[in-house]
Amino acid sequence: MTAIGKVSLQDTVLQRGHSRERSRLLVFNHTVLLLLTAFAVVPLLVLAFNSVKTNLEIGQNPLGPPVNIVAENFPNAWDKGNFATTMSNSIIYVVATIAAELVFGGLAAYALARKRPPGSDALMLYFLVASTIPLWMYIVPLFVQINSLKRLGVDARFLLIMVYVAGNAPLTIFLLRSYMIDLPGELEDAARVDGANEFQVLTRIVIPLTMPGFLTVGLVVGLGVWNEFLLALTFIHDPNQYPVTTSFYKFVDRFDRDWALTSAGAIIIIFPVMVLFLALQRQFINGLAEGGIKT
Amino acid sequence: MAVYVQKKPTTISEKLADETWRRKFLRNVLIPWIFIAPLLLLHIYVVTVPAVQGIYMSMTDWKGVGQNANFVGLENYRELFFEDETFGKALGNNIIWMAFFLTVPFVLALFSATMLSQIKRGGMIYRSILFIPYVLASVVTITIWKNLLNPQRGIGAAVDNILGLEKVFGIAYLGRTESALMSIAFIDNWHFWGFLMILFLAAMQAIPPVLYDAAKIDGANRWQEFRHVTLPGIRPVVLFMYMMVAIWSFLAFDYIFLSTQGGPGGASEVIATLLYKNAFFRFEAGYGAAMGVVISIFAGFIIMIFVTLRRRGWDI
């Protein structure tokens, strides 16, 4: 009796102290988080503000909200920045890279996770070691190699996509394999008994069950390619083949003083990413977190 | 009747065992390797072959054009470490960069992830907003911050204006020798730290709540709770990211190249920007390749340290 009384008394004391402490702490937590949110968002807000001001207004009011909203910056930037071409180039790079990565990565990961042919362990070790090779170790010889292929008449865009697919191969294999390895084998065996061949087992059974893995790889790889700068700068020299990043780099160089124009250009580049990010927040965040840990 | 039924393979495994050797080989060896081959061959062609070529190229005086490449042994490396002052300066900047990125974003991310893990409502909104800078392209991030750090129109000028000062805060952060590198690190970190926070937050959410209850009953204060429950719980992720960030510090390129190209006067030069200029602007392919090998050796060295520590039982 006394023991029980003691415990419950202690409990209430603990809880009361606890909740008072808790609410004070949460005010502190929210204050800190709001300050950090401002740190993340204010630069973007300034960018958005400047994209709808005239240069005259930016000169007088470079940071605050716009007094008069003008929309002309966007069509101007779109034309002068050649966005019609570079946007579609970037979309080609992103879509083709994702498609090739998922097809070839899916096939390889399936073989490594479900079939484990002799040599699988050595191959996983190869990809593990290869994933640590920095781009800087091979960029110069790769440049020579890519140039000789270009001279043979191979499209530079195709070659850039090839480099993207290869560069993301270790990440793709690790991620997709980790999704596939957890599947129960009975489903596949059942399909085989029903006469399915290996390809059908992959497309009808394994892929539908590991869709989140494919979505994750697609988002991580796609975002990486959309934002990629260094490889595109190195391998694409025809302005008609530029992705948005390298073309924007030259654009900013050319219109250095024209903040209204460059701000609008920047908004055009981040717009598709922001839309996709807001629509798929959870997948984006979890996917990039997963990709970051596994590389 | 019953005997006949028994003889036919009835279970799945029996049916599969019934296959011929040839079909088994096809199914378990040949087809899997055909599935693996495209990506593997592509990867070998794009990464492994050039990486090996890079080692050889680093021992030549090749200019990147023409056929005449002479084997010069370790001459490029000797020049890098004993003659080229710009390389020494760049290496030093990489180490400063690493010191910055192994402290600032980690403190920021650990602190904010702790704050975020304790709140009940609005967590998802904070998480998404704080993550936004991470999804922006480097070209965009640099454009934003070049404007914000502009001496006449940026934040500094606005602060001067409010305080009635002149050119105290409104200075060319990216154009000055003493502040260029740190300013770029600040910009890169603005983009990067949210990513680290997400990783730490996910690890924190995986810690069993029972441990926190136990700590509370033992009378632990906030700091003790963080020190003895949170930190040990997320240790594997923190240490792994320590290794990754240390490696990435030697690969840093985009933000520096896009903002100052290593200037002014080499003040923000790092090995990667120096390599890029040597290989692609000055046509010193062999010399550039040697820098690439040096970067890789540093990366390999960092990995080795972590692998060794792990082998010794330091739970990473």
Residue to mutate among B14, B16, B35, B287, with most A CBs inside 10 A, is B35
Residue A132 sits in the same domain as residue A183 = yes
* CATH number for B88: 1.10.3720.10
B296/A288 touch (CB, cutoff 8 Å), yes or no: no
Q: Rounded CA gap, A124 and A133, in Å?
A: 15
Check CB contact under 8 Å for B300 and A132: yes
Whether A142 contacts B19, CB under 8 Å = no
The domain tally of chain A equals 2
Instruction: Give chain A's mean pLDDT.
Output: 88
Residue of A nearest to B245 (CA): A292
Cα separation, B167 vs B157, in Å, equals 7
Q: Are residues A37 and A151 in the same domain?
A: no
Q: Is B36 in contact with A107 (Cβ distance < 8 A)?
A: yes
Residue with tokens 């798929």: A280
B32: Cβ contacts below 8 Å, ≥ 6 apart: A111, A112, A115, A116, A117, A198
CA B131 from chain centre, in angstroms, equals 16
Please tell me whether residues B53 and B83 are part of one structural domain.
Answer: no
A103 and A17 together in one domain: no
Are A130 and B48 an interchain contact pair (Cβ–Cβ within 8 Å)?
Answer: yes
For residue B57, CA distances in Å to A94, A182, B63, B244 come to: 32, 44, 10, 27
- B239 and B94 in a common domain: yes
Are B137 and A249 a contacting pair at CB < 8 A? no
3-state secondary structure of A68: coil
Interface test with B, best of A22, A140, A246 (most B CBs within 10 A): A140
Q: In angstroms, rounded to a whole number, what is the distance separating the alpha carbons of residues A187 and A114?
A: 12
Selecting from A119, A138, A170 the residue whose C-beta is nearest the C-beta of B51 gives A138
Residue of B38, B112, B299 with shortest CB distance to A33: B112
In this predicted structure, what is the pLDDT of residue B9?
A: 55
Q: Which tokens belong to A29?
A: 């937590």
For residues A255 and A266, the answer to whether their CB atoms sit within 8 Å is no
> For residue A234, what pLDDT is reported?
95
Q: What is the DSSP letter of B10?
A: -
- Pair B35, B156 in one domain: no
Q: What tokens appear for B304 in the block?
A: 């080795």
Domain end marker among B26, B57, B88 = B57
Same domain, yes or no: B104 and B244:
yes
B112 plus B16 within the same structural domain:
no
Long-range (24+ apart) CB contacts under 8 A made by A153-162 are A156/A235, A156/A236, A156/A237, A156/A238, A156/A241, A157/A89, A157/A92, A157/A93, A157/A236, A157/A241, A159/A235, A160/A93, A160/A231, A160/A232, A160/A235, A160/A236, A161/A93, A161/A96, A161/A97, A161/A100, A162/B42, A162/B46
Structural domain that includes position B41: 2-57
- Looking at the fold, whether B35 and B135 belong to one and the same domain comes out as no
d(CA A189, CA A196): 9
Let me know if residue B65 belongs to a domain: no
Assembly ipTM: 0.89
Name the more confident of A121 and B18. A121
Give the chain A residue whose CA is nearest to the CA of B158. Answer: A63
Lowest mean pLDDT among A6-15, A112-121, A136-145, B170-179: A6-15
Q: Which two tokens stand for residue B290?
A: 């040697």
Contact pairs from chain A to chain B, CB under 8 Å: 281
Among chain A residues, CA nearest to B288: A140
- Cβ atoms within 10 Å of B14's Cβ, excluding its own: 11
Q: Is residue A50 part of a domain?
A: yes
For residue A9, pLDDT beyond 50: no
Cβ B126–A33 below 8 Å, yes or no? Answer: yes
Give the C-alpha separation, A25 to A137, whole Å.
Answer: 49
**What is the widest separation between alpha-carbon atoms in chain A?**
91
DSSP states along A165-199: HHHTHHHHHHHHHHHHTTS-HHHHHHHHHTT--HH
Contact with chain B for residue A167, Cβ under 8 A: yes
Q: What percent of chain A has pLDDT over 70?
A: 90
A51 and A112 in a single domain? The answer is: no
Structural domain count of chain B: 2
A176 located within any domain: yes
Give A230 to chain B, closest Cα distance, Å: 7
Do B88 and B50 fall within a single domain? no
Q: Which of B36, B189, B234 to substitute to test the interface with A, most A CBs within 10 Å?
A: B36
Kindly state whether residue A212 falls inside one of the protein's structural domains: yes
Residue range(s) defining the domain that contains residue A31? 2-60
Residue A15 has pLDDT above 70, yes or no: no
Q: Is B279's CB within 8 Å of A36's CB?
A: no
**In angstroms, rounded to a whole number, what is the distance separating the alpha carbons of residues B145 and A89?**
26
Tell whether A128 is within 8 A of chain B (Cβ): no
Query: Comparing C-alpha atoms, which of B155, B162, B219 is closest to residue B183?
Result: B155
For residue A272, tell me if it sits in a domain.
Answer: no
Same domain, A27 and A113: no
Identify whether residues A86 and A197 lie together within a single domain.
yes
pLDDT at residue B8 in the model: 55
Residues B152 and B7 in one domain: no
> What is the tens place of the pLDDT at every residue in A50-88?
999 988 888 888 888 998 899 999 999 999 999 999 999
Query: Would residue B18 count as lying in a domain?
Result: yes
**Chain B contact present for A132, CB below 8 A:** yes
CA count, 13 A, side-chain hemisphere, B161: 12
Interface probe with A: pick from B11, B16, B47, most Cβ of A within 10 Å: B47
The answer to whether residues B174 and B34 belong to one domain is: no
* CA distance to A44, A189, A192, B4, B20, per residue, from B11 (Å): 62, 10, 12, 15, 17
A17 shares its domain with A126? no
Of A40, A50, A163, the CB nearest to B129: A40
- Together in a domain, B160 and B289: yes
Residue of A nearest to B150 (CA): A62
Check whether A166 has a pLDDT greater than 60.
yes
CATH number at residue A118: 1.10.3720.10
Is residue A6 scored above 80 in pLDDT? no
CB contact under 8 A, A110 and B35: yes
Task: Give how far Cα B275 sits from Cα of A89, A136, A231, B65, B206, Å.
Answer: 28, 8, 14, 17, 42
* Chain A from 146 to 165: CB within 8 A of any B CB: 162-163, 165
Interchain pair B35, A111: CB under 8 A? yes
CA B200/CA B130 separation, integer angstroms: 13
Partners of A173 on chain B (C-beta within 8 Å) are 39
Element (H, E) at B106: helix B104-118
What is the pLDDT tens value at each position of chain B, 316 positions in all?
Answer: 444 444 555 566 665 666 677 888 888 889 899 999 999 999 999 999 999 999 999 999 888 776 678 888 888 999 999 999 999 999 999 999 999 999 999 999 999 999 999 887 888 899 999 999 999 999 999 999 999 999 988 898 888 888 888 888 888 899 999 999 999 999 999 999 999 999 999 999 989 989 988 998 988 888 888 889 999 999 989 999 999 999 999 999 999 999 999 989 899 999 999 999 999 998 889 999 999 999 999 999 999 999 898 888 765 5
DSSP assignments along B218-287, one per residue: TT--HHHHIIIIIHHHHHHHHHHHHHHHHHHHHH--HHHHHHTTT-STTTT--HHHHHHIIIIIS--HHH
In terms of domains, do B126 and B14 share one? no
Q: Is residue A285 part of a domain?
A: no
Supply B191's token pair: 């983009």
On chain B, the residues whose CB falls within 8 A of the CB of A104 are: 38-39, 42
Q: Does A96 touch chain B (CB under 8 A)?
A: no
pLDDT of B4 reads 47
| Residue B121 identity | R
For B302, the closest chain A residue by CA position comes to A132
Q: Which of A105, A144, A278 is closest, CB to CB, to B39?
A: A105
Q: How far is CA A81 from CA A249, A253, B7, B61, in A?
A: 10, 11, 75, 40
- Would B68 be classed as within a structural domain? no
Name the residue among A104, A244, A266 with its Cβ closest to that of B39: A104
Determine, yes or no, domain membership for B66.
no
Q: Is there a contact between B124 and A226 if contact means CB atoms under 8 Å apart? A: no
**Shortest Cα distance from B257 to chain A (angstroms)?**
9
Mutation target vs A (from B18, B76, B135; most A CBs, 10 A cutoff): B135
Residue A3's pLDDT is what?
40
- In a shared domain, residues B38 and B158: no
Lookup result for tokens 């087809």 = B31
Closest chain A CA to residue B192: A40
